[in-house]
Amino acid sequence: MSYVVDRRLNAKNKSTVNRQRFLRRYREHIKKAVSDAVNKRSITDVERGEKISIPAKDLGEPVFHHGSGGINERVHPGNKEFSSGDRIARPKGGAGRGGSGEGASDQGEGMDDFVFQITQDEFLNFMFDDLELPNLIKRQLAGSEEFKLHRAGVANEGNPGRINIVRTLRSANARRVALGGVKRRRIAACEAQLAELLAVDELLRDDKKIAALHEEIKSLKSRLKKLPWIDSFDLKYNLLVKHPVPKSKAVMFCLMDVSGSMTQETKEIAKRFFILLYLFLQRNYERTEVVFIRHHTSAKEVDEQDFFYSRETGGTIVSSALKLMDEVIDDRYSPAEWNIYGAQASDGDNWNDDSSVCRDLMFSKILPKSQYFSYIEITPRQHQALWEEYARVAAEEPAAFAMQQIKTSADIYPVFRELFQKKSHDK
């Protein structure tokens, strides 16, 4: 049997199958390179591809071959200095190495690291690998319904392409057994009766009766042969029925502190974190909506452009963002139908009396309606009252609330993965 693989749709000089096999084989190298690249990139180029370098020592493949066997002694041609059995002194070198310098080799030839380019889609796939929205459990048909075909037994009518050969042959065999059962039993009785007549002495045999039995057996066998092997009645088809596919509806609230205490560097770190979150949601969840809220002394729902690039600033009252989030949930996102998530970024500075208000809002308003809420504090300094109040929330609601600190831009991607790492589920 021959198989034809049509690769005309693949890019020029590339094999999709071989490339995917290669990416799976060097998965760990690529993931490490992607993780390093994310920490070095700016906001605008986080989506482009990346060059991946694989050490030459990791490119080797095992080779199976027949050994030469026995004991062999060889002196290779061109050797003017040594004879068979001579011992070769170790070359002199510094720091305990046998060469003349670091990286020196007496092999004459070497191999550079293998470098190749991964595409933008491949880069994002590795960047968000093993990440998920936690506790995504509520299901609701969202928007236009989508359907998926499911097997639902067999039917007597259907598309010829869905014919069930096994059930068809089984039905045909059952029909032939049922229709021919009486005839087979009659043939068996006639053959038994004929055997008794033939056992009688030739002078006493009833030739007319024997001839009649022969004729009846022949007629019955002829009628059995006329039974069709497969009849249209036997045809069975795989029955496929449409089942609606439930879609997980989720909304992510992005809350960012833009008060005067947030320096430009701190804001850039917060923007990079939220851009990672935004790319993750847009890439992996078709039915996920994003609500952007900026706050200083007052909170305001904004669009994506204003959220990332507006220069508005002011004092700090963090509870204003939580109150606005609660109002938006009540107005547009029923907790009975939506999976609600929140991510908040701040430098930790807050009005003294407001931190306890934030804690109470978390317990009474936000967490009862949410699946998961994460707080990111961007500061190298010592934690203040807001962190302490949120720490009490995390201690009492560890499955629904998480908090992490980011000191430098290098912490963004590790913290992001820590917050949204895919967790094993108990079965």
Bridge partners of 149, per DSSP, are 242
* Lookup result for tokens 């305990």: 96
| Whole-prediction pTM | 0.52
Q: For helices 120-127 and 27-40, what crossing angle results, to 10°?
A: 90
* Lookup result for tokens 């609606």: 244
Q: Is 252:305 a contact under the CB 8 Å cutoff?
A: no
pLDDT in tens, 27-37: 777 777 766 66
Angle at 158 between CA 152 and CA 162, to 5 degrees: 70
Q: For helices 27-40 and 16-25, what crossing angle results, to 10°?
A: 80
- The secondary element (H helix, E strand) that includes residue 41 is none
pLDDT in tens, 207-225: 788 888 888 888 888 888 8
Per-residue pLDDT of the chain (427 residues; tens, 9 = 90+): 666 666 555 555 455 667 777 777 777 777 777 666 655 554 445 555 556 666 665 566 667 777 777 777 766 666 667 777 777 777 665 544 444 444 444 444 555 556 666 666 666 666 666 566 655 544 443 444 567 788 888 888 888 888 888 888 888 888 888 888 888 888 888 888 888 888 877 777 777 888 888 888 888 888 888 888 888 888 888 888 887 665 667 888 999 988 888 888 888 888 878 877 777 776 666 677 889 999 888 899 998 888 877 777 778 889 999 999 999 999 999 888 888 888 899 988 888 789 999 999 999 999 999 888 989 898 888 888 899 999 999 999 988 898 988 888 777 777 777 777 766 554 3
* Lookup result for tokens 């392409």: 161
Q: Is 365:279 a contact under the CB 8 Å cutoff?
A: no
Q: Where are the alpha helices (DSSP H) in 141-260?
A: 165-198, 207-225
Distances (CA, A) of 363 to 191, 322, 358, 383: 90, 11, 9, 21
